[in-house]
């Protein structure tokens, strides 16, 4: 192949090791670049390497560990490596989905950081040819007693809402947790789910020498330059200065881009399309070329910009939002531009597919970058840092709280009103959860259920991660995150079929963090194998550290389940007086790492509950079978806060019902040898409450016995707006359901609506 | 019976409205905002969403789009027009309905089911309900607080032009709990709740379906539906 003479752009500084380090490239990486090119890189090339060899784009610290995940299975149409994973739903339908982090931008600019997080993940899904039908969010903040945390929380929620609401994709679920480790480093993980006909699937592989690269959508500005590199370093006091690197979202343009992209894909005029996400034009063009085994040549002078005088370096690294890179057939450029014009968008030819495998960038007549394309993506060094558990955590695991237990009623009410456990109604009330008219079950239940239009089928969706468990025991915690997500989905009656994950960790170059990462992923992989939920993709977010330290390791699981008939969807609350309440799964009273210890006694200690994956699998399949046979009037997963919280939540009822239902519960039969706190708040895994009409109780118990799932009748549902009565061996707890509702639904609003909250945007 | 669903750039309940109308038996079709005629529609729906992004004020730009001249003409000729959510905002901005929709009293977007009472059944979009029926419909808006001068509110009450009224929870602080109104000629209706989201039996109960069966029946009674 012929090599062009690569010229510096006027004003570029000379390339030094210091300059490379400022670009996040270490000396060894610079050495490799020089060896690859046989010369010094130009500044433009250094910028390109800086983006593509950042952790965010290259996965250089995570690749060997991600190989632990199972990625194949009978539903998998597209595994990791594309913009989103795709699972088959039967009858030609498929679901495309992915979760991604926008933590660092949200830490410095919560409104725009969260909004653009939603925007980016939407584009990842609709570039597969799927129409987005649901958004979910997994959020973590520091305690709401702190004004800055309230500011971040309010801004993130408003940013997610304003973006998703405007684009017209319902936000149907998610999870929110609060812990001191997230002060200064909140987590904002957005998941998007789309539906498509399998025939319409389009992959982002550039092919066909001579095909034309087209920039579609917004113009390129100076916002977000080096966003991918920013996401690959720790947050410090100086991060505030990164605010200009946070992009600004425009959901109206996103909506137009969505419609235009789906129309382009359906038109047959294009062969590939990809979001210009992290690292903008650079990563989208380089990745599409590598997948297609071709080269690309672009002219940055042709890229429409928001302001004159932008250098090729800036144009290549801009992360301006709402832009796509399209690969069109050469004789269809006019047709592509006509579709774009209909949606009031610009579409500009900026380059072409070549046969020499080079990633080549011109700026007018001058070649400013020329890098062998495959090596650009593949020659980045892969690191396997040392992994070693922090000995202090092993000490924590052996500890028990020294704080005395309060009275059980007081503890139950305290836990119900603790923001990590309390209803997130204040959050999801700000999200349009019913647009598209397909939401069968929205936020506030175990999992959301969305109809596949024109069929009886539905998809059930949930995100989960108990990060406290992962902190105390990464392997068991990783297993528990998958198991809880699977139980949540199964409680609606859906069979779990696959996951996406967002792996939020601290600095992987530290042995203690790398240990957490490796062990949590091992746990996730083992759980996914047993539960038959392959990993179809996701995102790794390292360097989640602020001056106060690293976050809890937080590998968020986004689970998809398949429901054969949405008319058999099971809700997660008490529904009718007289229904029998049955506990499925074994109770051992395991309090280590529990919400009770963390939020009532305020001690994060102990060993989290072990997860018996075979038992989880039996429970999940039993829940699905009971729902399919229409034996259930309700089902609710046991997780944070154990049986006491699960019963209180089921009694509280749906978020907008005028009242809940009481229940008469006797815990003595399952309580032999267990203390009051163990019974009420123990977080043994593999458990769920199911409710059934009295005439079906025998059938439910028989099916449980057949499935080898322990089952015990706990009592029955009493009056609407009645009392939750729990008889324990040494206590009887009585709480009016009205009070439960007030505390559970009102706790977060009480904090957020009384405090003065500044919100940007 | 032909129903035009107007699509502005940024409309996002357009497909939901089209499907709900089609389910009620209408021949429903989209009309793009640049069109100047309504394709011989018997009735017009202005769907929810964020027309033109609503960055200025909800509906403020949409009222100037070419299609609105045709909508106004259709309305003046007595043709049924329904604006849902953003469509209601557009009808107020266009002067086809009195009053305005302001930021919610809580200054936050509100998405939840609400109970509304059907106050008037002599409109083309509520005739299939019984008077005073209480139905549960979803709302999802940031600017849904209905306001008007006291004299205008009095006229609306005196002329029985409040079509839907919130019962129990008023989600946005609307004057007199108003969730929907009709013009004096009783052919142009604007409502904040979304009946099209609860009109598909495959998803759940269908308290909103009556809005669409109403207009199909009304047009057919009036001898429309020639197409």
Tens digit of each residue's pLDDT (9 = 90 or more) over A631-676: 999 999 999 999 999 999 999 999 999 999 999 999 999 988 999 9
Please check whether residue B39 is in contact with residue B79, taking contact to mean a CB–CB distance below 8 angstroms: no
Asked if the Cβ–Cβ distance from B203 to A438 is below 8 Å, we say: yes
SS (H, E, C) A544-606: CEECCEECCCEEEEEEEEEECCHHHCCCCCCCCCCCEEEEECCCCCCCCCCHHHHHHCCCCCC
User: For residue range A516-547, what is the model confidence (pLDDT) as tens digits?
Assistant: 999 999 999 999 999 999 999 999 999 999 88
DSSP A54-67: SHHHH-TTTHHHHT
The H or E element that residue A295 is part of is strand A295-299
Q: What was the pLDDT predicted at A206?
A: 84
pLDDT for the residue numbered A759: 45
A388 C-beta neighbours (distance < 10 Å), count: 11
Look at B10 and A429 and tell me if their CB atoms are within 8 Å.
Answer: no
CB A129 within 8 A of CB A147: no
Question: Which one is catalytic: A23, A56, A363, A599?
Answer: A56
Contact (CB<8Å) B111/A456: no
pLDDT tens digits along A104-127: 989 999 999 999 999 999 999 999
Size of interface A-B (CB pairs under 8 A): 94
Neighbouring CB atoms inside 10 A of A478's CB total 33
Beta strand residue intervals within A306-376, DSSP E: 323-328, 346-354, 358-363, 366-372
Question: Coil, helix or strand for A720?
Answer: strand
Q: What share of chain A is helix, strand, coil (3-state, %, to 5)?
A: 40, 25, 35
Contact A162 B109 (CB under 8 A): yes
Q: What's chain B's Rg over C-alpha atoms? A: 16
* Closest residue by Cα to residue A185 from A102, A100, A243, A279: A102
Contact list in A for residue B12 (CB cut-off 8 A) is 166-168, 255, 435
In a domain, B16, yes or no: yes
Interface of B with A (CB under 8 A): 9-10, 12-13, 15-16, 19-20, 48-50, 52-55, 108-113, 138, 140, 142, 168, 194, 196-200, 202-204
**Closest to A376 (Cα-Cα) out of A393, A391, A355, A358:** A358
Q: What are the DSSP calls for A530-546, one per residue? A: HHT--EEEEEEE---EE
Q: Which residues pair with B188 in a beta bridge?
A: B81
Span A64-70, average pLDDT: 95
- B156: distance to nearest CA of chain A, Å? 30
Decide if B105 is inside a domain. yes
Alpha carbons B63 and B46: distance in angstroms, whole number: 11
User: Which one, of A574, A563, A556, A572, lies nearest residue A491 by Cα?
Assistant: A572
B115: helix, strand or coil: strand
Is the model's pTM score more than 0.90?
yes
pLDDT of residue A235: 66
Say how far apart CA A447 and CA A561 lie, in whole Å.
9
Say what percent of chain A tops pLDDT 90.
Answer: 84
Least confident span in A319-323, A356-360, A715-719: A319-323
Q: Residue A224: how many CA atoms within 13 Å on its side-chain side?
A: 30
Tell me the pLDDT band of A146, cut-offs 50, 70 and 90.
very high
CA distance A591 to A238: 40
Q: What does the H/E/C string look like for A646-670?
A: HHHHHHHCCCCCCCCEEEEEECHHH
Element of type H or E holding A159? helix A147-167
Mean per-residue pLDDT for A35-61? 91
Residues 6+ apart with CB under 8 A from B42: B1, B2, B3, B79, B80, B219, B224, B225, B227
SS3 state of residue A273: strand
Q: Check B9 against A431: CB less than 8 A apart.
A: no
Cα A462 vs. chain centroid, distance in angstroms? 10
User: What's chain A's average pLDDT?
Assistant: 93
Which segments of chain B have a pLDDT < 50? 225-227
The C-alpha atoms of residue A461 and residue B57 are separated, in whole angstroms, by 34
In the predicted model, what is the mean pLDDT of residues A273-301?
90
Instruction: State the alpha helices, DSSP H only, in chain B.
Output: 14-23, 67-76, 86-93, 150-158, 209-221
* Yes or no, beta carbons of A430 and B108 under 8 Å apart: yes
Angle subtended at Cα A553 by Cα A193 and Cα A233, rounded to the nearest 5 degrees: 90
pLDDT at res. A203 = 83
Interatomic CA distance for residues B142 and A2, integer angstroms: 59
The question of whether A363 is a catalytic residue gets the answer: no
Structure token digits, residue B112: 């939840």
Spatial neighbors of A198 by CB under 8 A, at least 6 apart, are A77, A86, A88, A92, A93, A94
How many degrees, rounded to 5, is the angle at CA A743 between CA A738 and CA A744? 95
Q: Which of A156, A151, A144, A161 is nearest to A417 (CA)?
A: A144
* Residue A710 to residue A695: CA distance in whole angstroms: 20
* CA dist., res. B217 & res. B227, Å (int): 15
Tally of domains within chain B: 1
Beta bridge partners of A194: A96, A132
CA-CA distance, B220 to B130, in Å (whole number)?
19
Whether B14 is covered by a domain: the verdict is yes
Best B11, B12, B47, B195 residue to mutate vs chain A (most A CBs within 10 Å): B12
With contact defined as beta carbons under 8 Å apart, do A122 and A135 qualify? Answer: yes
**Mutation to test the B interface, candidates A429, A434, A456, most B Cβ within 10 Å:** A434
Residue B227 located in a structural domain: no
Tokens matching residue A531: 């539960």
As a whole-number percent, the residues of chain A with pLDDT over 70 amount to 96
3-state secondary structure of A148: helix
* Interface probe with B: pick from A168, A263, A450, A655, most Cβ of B within 10 Å: A168
Expressed in angstroms, the distance from the first to the final Cα of chain B is: 6
The minimum CA-CA distance between B111 and chain A, rounded to whole Å, is: 5
Phi, psi of B180 (to 5 degrees): -170, 150
Task: Please tell me the distance from the alpha carbon of residue B207 to that of residue B190, in angstroms, as a whole number.
Answer: 17
| Residues of chain A found within 8 Å of residue B200, distances taken between Cβ atoms | 437-438, 451
Tens-place pLDDT, residues B71-111 = 999 999 999 999 999 999 999 999 999 999 999 999 999 99
Please return the burial class of A74, using the count of CB atoms within 10 Å of its CB with bins 0-12, 13-18 and 19+: exposed
Sequence-separated (6 or more) residues with CB below 8 Å from residue B34: B65, B66, B67
pLDDT tens digits for range A123-138: 999 999 999 999 999 9
Which residues of B are designated catalytic? Answer: 85, 194, 196
Please state, in angstroms and rounded to a whole number, the distance separating the CA atoms of residues B159 and A624: 55
Residue A630 · residue A669 · CB < 8 Å: no
CA distance A542 to A63: 13
The lowest-confidence range among A49-63, A694-708, A730-744, B94-108 is A49-63
Distance CA A216, CA A231 (A): 25
Residue A102 · residue A188 · CB < 8 Å: yes
Burial class (CB in 10 A: 0-12, 13-18, 19+), A18: exposed
Range of the domain at B208: 2-222
Q: How many angstroms separate the most distant Cα atoms in chain B?
A: 47
Which positions ≥6 away from B129 have C-beta within 8 Å?
Answer: B118, B121, B135, B210, B214
pLDDT at A204: 83
Q: For the domain that residue B50 is a member of, what is the CATH number?
A: 3.40.50.880
Tens of pLDDT, residue by residue over A203-253, are 888 889 999 999 999 999 887 676 656 666 676 766 666 666 677 788 889
């Amino acid at each position: 192949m012929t090599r062009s003479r690569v010229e510096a752009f006027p004003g570029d500084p000379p390339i030094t090791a210091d300059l490379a380090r400022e670009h996040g490239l270490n000396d060894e990486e610079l050495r490799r670049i020089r060896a690859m090119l046989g010369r010094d890189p130009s500044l433009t090339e250094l910028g390109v390497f800086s983006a593509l060899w950042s952790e965010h784009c290259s996965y250089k610290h995570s690749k060997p560990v991600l190989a632990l995940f199972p990625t194949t299975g009978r539903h998998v149409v597209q595994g990791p490596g594309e913009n989103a994973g795709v699972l088959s739903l039967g009858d030609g339908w498929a679901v495309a989905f992915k979760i991604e982090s926008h933590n660092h931008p949200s830490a410095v600019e919560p409104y725009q950081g969260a909004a653009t997080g939603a925007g980016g993940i939407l584009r990842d899904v609709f570039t597969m040819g799927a129409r987005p039908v649901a958004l979910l969010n997994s959020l973590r903040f520091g305690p709401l007693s702190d004004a800055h945390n309230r500011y971040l929380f309010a801004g993130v929620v408003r940013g997610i809402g304003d973006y998703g609401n405007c684009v017209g994709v319902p936000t149907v679920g998610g999870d929110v947790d609060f812990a001191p480790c997230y002060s200064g480093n909140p987590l904002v993980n957005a998941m998007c789910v789309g539906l498509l006909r399998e025939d319409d699937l389009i992959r982002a592989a550039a092919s066909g020498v001579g095909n034309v690269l087209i920039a579609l959508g917004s113009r390129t500005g100076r916002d977000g330059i080096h966003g991918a590199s920013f996401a690959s370093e720790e947050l410090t006091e100086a991060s505030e200065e990164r605010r200009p690197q946070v992009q600004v979202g425009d959901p109206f343009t996103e909506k137009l881009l969505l419609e235009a992209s789906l129309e382009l894909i359906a038109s047959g005029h294009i062969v590939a399309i990809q979001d210009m996400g992290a690292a903008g034009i650079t990563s989208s063009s380089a990745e599409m070329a590598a997948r297609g085994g071709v080269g690309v040549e672009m002219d940055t002078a042709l890229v429409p910009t928001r302001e004159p005088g932008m250098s090729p370096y800036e144009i290549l690294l801009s992360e301006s939002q709402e832009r796509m890179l399209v690969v069109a057939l050469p004789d269809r450029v006019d047709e592509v531009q006509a579709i774009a014009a209909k949606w009031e968008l610009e579409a500009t030819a900026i380059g072409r597919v070549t046969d020499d495998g080079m990633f080549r960038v011109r700026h007018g007549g001058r070649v400013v970058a020329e890098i062998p394309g495959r090596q650009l993506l593949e020659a980045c060094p892969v690191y396997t840092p040392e992994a070693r558990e922090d000995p202090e955590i092993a000490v924590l695991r052996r500890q028990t709280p020294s704080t005395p237990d309060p009275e059980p009623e007081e503890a139950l009410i305290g836990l119900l009103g603790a923001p990590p456990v309390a209803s997130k109604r204040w959050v999801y009330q700000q999200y349009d959860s019913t647009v598209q008219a397909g939401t069968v079950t929205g936020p506030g239940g175990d999992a959301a259920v969305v109809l596949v239009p024109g069929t009886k089928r539905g998809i059930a969706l949930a995100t989960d991660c108990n990060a406290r468990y992962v902190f105390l025991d990464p392997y068991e915690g990783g297993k528990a995150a998958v198991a809880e997500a699977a139980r949540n989905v199964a409680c609606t009656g859906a069979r779990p079929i696959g996951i996406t994950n967002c792996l939020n960790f601290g600095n992987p170059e530290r042995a203690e963090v790398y240990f957490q990462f490796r062990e949590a992923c091992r746990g996730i992989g083992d759980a996914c194998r047993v539960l038959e939920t392959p990993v179809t993709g996701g995102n790794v977010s390292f360097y989640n550290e602020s001056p106060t330290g690293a976050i809890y390791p937080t590998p968020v699981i986004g689970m998809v389940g398949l429901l054969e008939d949405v008319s058999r969807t099971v809700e997660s609350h008490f529904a009718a007086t007289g229904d029998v309440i049955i506990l499925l799964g074994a109770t051992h009273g395991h309090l280590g790492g529990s919400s009770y210890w963390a939020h009532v006694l305020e001690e994060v200690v102990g060993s989290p509950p072990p997860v018996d994956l075979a038992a989880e699998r039996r429970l999940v399949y039993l829940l699905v079978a009971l729902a399919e046979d229409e034996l259930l009037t309700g089902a609710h997963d046991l997780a944070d806060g154990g049986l006491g919280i699960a019963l209180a939540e089921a009694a509280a009822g749906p978020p907008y019902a005028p009242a809940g239902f009481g229940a008469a519960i006797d815990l003595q039969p399952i309580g032999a040898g267990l203390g009051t706190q163990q019974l009420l708040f123990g977080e043994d895994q593999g458990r769920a409450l199911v409710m059934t009409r009295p005439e079906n109780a025998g059938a439910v118990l028989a099916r449980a016995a057949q499935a080898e799932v322990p089952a015990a009748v706990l009592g029955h549902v009493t009056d609407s707006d009645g009392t939750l009565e729990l008889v324990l061996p040494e206590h009887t707890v009585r709480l009016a359901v009205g009070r439960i509702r007030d505390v559970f639904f009102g706790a977060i609003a009480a904090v957020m609506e009384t405090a003065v909250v500044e919100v940007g945007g | 019976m032909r129903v035009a669903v107007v699509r502005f750039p940024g409309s996002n309940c357009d497909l939901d409205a089209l499907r709900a109308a089609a389910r009620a038996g209408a021949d429903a079709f989209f009309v793009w905002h640049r069109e100047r005629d309504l394709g011989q529609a018997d009735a017009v729906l202005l769907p929810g969403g964020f027309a033109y992004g609503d960055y200025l004020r909800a509906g403020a730009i949409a009222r100037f789009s070419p299609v609105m001249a045709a909508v106004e003409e259709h309305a003046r000729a007595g043709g049924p027009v329904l604006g849902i959510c953003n469509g209601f905002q557009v009808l107020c901005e266009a002067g086809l309905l009195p009053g305005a929709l302001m930021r919610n009293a809580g200054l936050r977007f509100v998405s939840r089911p609400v109970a509304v009472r059907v106050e008037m059944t002599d409109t083309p979009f509520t005739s299939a309900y019984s008077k005073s029926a209480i139905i549960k419909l979803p709302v999802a808006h940031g600017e849904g607080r209905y306001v008007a001068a006291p004299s205008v509110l009095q006229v609306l009450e005196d002329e029985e032009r409040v079509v839907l009224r919130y019962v129990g929870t008023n989600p946005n602080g609307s004057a007199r709990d108003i969730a929907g109104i009709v013009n004096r000629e009783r052919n142009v209706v604007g409502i904040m709740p979304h009946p099209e989201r609860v009109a598909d039996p495959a998803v759940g109960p269908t308290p909103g379906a009556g809005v669409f069966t109403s207009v199909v029946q009304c047009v057919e009674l009036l001898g429309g539906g020639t197409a």
